[in-house]
A = this chain, B = another copy of it.
Amino acid sequence: MKVFVVGAHGKIGKQLIRILSESSKHKVRAMVREAEQAHNFQSLGIETAIVNLEESVEKIAAGAIGCDAIVFTAGSGGHTGADKTLLVDLDGAVKTIEAAALAKIKRFIMVSALQAHRRENWKDGIKPYYVAKYYADKMLEQSNLTYTIIRPGGLLDSEGTGYISVAENISGGMISRKDVAKTIMSSLDEGNTFYKAFDLVSGDLPITEALKLL
């Protein structure tokens, strides 16, 4: 499967690009905003597309065309304002969903946030971020795409264990970005994750086993 990774230069994105490019089953195209980021990936032999999520649906579709799946793991990040949360995390995500349809790409994996689907569990300091994720996830569920929504808990830069816990509702927990990336990759062609949304934290089952029990 050839995977279009939106947010390739982000922390989860970089991990995902690495393991996809090392995998024998998959190919990858990294979507990045800047020529320099593209150059970095190209020097590693990784295909790129330069697109900004504030551009049109058509531009995003043109970047994705020819791929078989899209992973949305972009985030405006904590250093920008909530205006970018609206433009990137919400509208950028939904434009990517629309771009998938336009480019006839059926498979779509969204990286969301733990408990983003339950308003009463949104953490106080970052509520506006949850609002954006909530509606982006909702729009994906209402699309005609073969979606999976992965909602990881607190993100760590540690090595990861390869062992996870997944469920519709998990009250809290942490997970390494490497394990999130591995969970995304394992979900790509795991039919049991199709049309599902789930919380994800570090746990005690190997990733592929955990996904089969969803």
Interface positions of A (Cβ within 8 A of B): 56-57, 81-83, 85-87, 90-91, 94-95, 119-120, 127-128, 131-132, 134-135, 138-139, 142
Contacts and interface: CB of A to CB of B under 8 A. Distances in A.
A4 B135 CA distance: 25
Contact of A82 (B56, B85, B119, B120): B85
A60 B132 CA distance: 21
29 contacts: A56-B120, A57-B119, A81-B81, A81-B82, A82-B82, A82-B83, A82-B85, A82-B128, A83-B127, A83-B128, A85-B86, A86-B86, A86-B90, A86-B127, A86-B131, A86-B132, A87-B127, A87-B128, A87-B131, A90-B131, A90-B135, A91-B119, A91-B131, A91-B134, A95-B119, A135-B135, A135-B139, A138-B139, A142-B142
Contacts of A56: 120
A134 B86 CA distance: 11
Contacts of A131: 86-87, 90-91
Contacts of A85: 82-83, 86
A76 to B, nearest CB: 11
A139 B91 CA distance: 14
